[in-house]
Amino acid sequence: MTVLHRVETDLAEADTATAAPRHSPLEHRGAEFERATALGPRGVRLREEPFLTQLNLRVPPDDAVSEAVAEALDLTPPAANKVSGDEGRALLWLGPDEWLLVAEEERARGALRAVRSAQQDASGSSVDVSANRTTLRLAGPAAREVLEKVCSLDLHPRAFSVGDCAQTLLGRTVAVLWQVGPDPEYRVLVRCSFAEYLADLLLDAMAEFLEG
């Protein structure tokens, strides 16, 4: 069995006391997102949810290592295109041997240590990719309709509902789509270099829901 080298970037565990101020890719667009908010029974709202810790995990499928990693996080191994956990800390299934840990900062440091301890001297890898993506949060009664304009996935509740996730194309960029609430409400994880593009795409799709 090939043993993959573990990349220990420890972005989330860096000494923040001396770190430079952080800037999210879309922090300058908050007011624009507010103006685009539509209210009422066909309402929808968009905001950035920056600085979530994200850890890419490569774990052998149906292996003791994957069980150990999930147990160390006090989570269950996610099934295909499913999410295990809650918004504060969750495992998203990205592929047969690939998970994405997404965690709020206050719940992230212990998670990183737990994963690396569980993977000690075993096959697999854990890579901190927190700086790779930012997160957009789309919510409201019309949120599904907005996404359906830019995504070819079947997002009807019978096919995609709370606790489901998928890597998919939104317009011309790949993103991770995760339904977090029944409103419906979604987290959309997108590469920072495509964040502006996706924000523009979603704002354009939201325009029809604004009250005149």
Residues of the domain holding 172: 26-50+132-212
Asked whether residue 4 carries a pLDDT value surpassing 70, the answer given is no
**pTM for this one?**
0.88
Do the Cβ atoms of 57 and 69 come closer than 8 Å? yes
Nearest Cα neighbor of 114 from 123, 104, 101, 129 is 101
Q: Kindly report the average pLDDT of the chain as a whole number.
A: 88
The residue among 129, 154, 175 that closes a domain is 129
How high is the pLDDT of residue 118?
A: 82
119 pLDDT above the threshold of 80: no
Q: At what angle do helices 195-206 and 143-150 cross, to 10 degrees?
A: 120
The count of domains in the chain is 2
Q: How far apart are CA 118 and CA 91, in angstroms?
A: 15
Q: Would you say residue 200 has pLDDT above 60?
A: yes
pLDDT, tens only, 88-115: 999 999 999 999 999 998 887 777 778 8
- The CATH number for 82's domain is 3.30.70.1520
Q: DSSP states of 141-171 as a string?
A: TTHHHHHHHHB-S--STTTS-TTBEEEEEET
Domain-embedded: residue 195: yes
Q: Which amino acid is at 67?
A: E
Angle between the 109-118 and 64-72 helix axes, to the nearest 10 degrees? 160
Higher pLDDT, 21 or 49: 49
Residues 139, 105 share a domain: no
Torsion of CA 28, 34, 36, 40, to 10 degrees: 160
Is residue 58 assigned to a domain? yes
Residue 11 reports pLDDT greater than 90: no
In a domain, residue 118? The reply is yes
Note the pLDDT of residue 175.
98
The answer for 51, left when phi > 0, alpha when psi is -120 to 50, beta otherwise, is left
pLDDT band at 121 (very low <50, low <70, confident <90, very high): low
pLDDT value at position 108?
Answer: 78
Could you tell me where the DSSP H helices lie in the chain? 30-35, 64-72, 109-118, 143-150, 195-206
The neighbour count for residue 100, using CB atoms within 10 Å, is: 23
Each residue of 119-141: b (16+ CB within 10 Å) or e?
Answer: beebebbbbbbbeebbbbbbbbe
pLDDT score of 6: 42
DSSP letter, residue 194: G
**What percent of the residues of the chain are helix, what percent strand, and what percent coil, each to the nearest 5?**
25, 30, 40
Are 85 and 91 in contact, with CB atoms under 8 Å apart?
Answer: yes
Q: What is the pLDDT of residues 141-189, one digit of tens each?
A: 999 999 999 999 999 999 999 999 999 999 999 999 999 999 999 999 9
What integer pLDDT is reported at residue 19 of this predicted model?
A: 66
Which of 94, 129, 164 represents a domain boundary (last residue)? 129
Tokens 């499913």: give the residue: 82
Q: Is residue 143 located within the same domain as residue 99?
A: no
Extract the tokens encoding 94.
Answer: 């990205």
pLDDT over 70 (residue 34)? yes
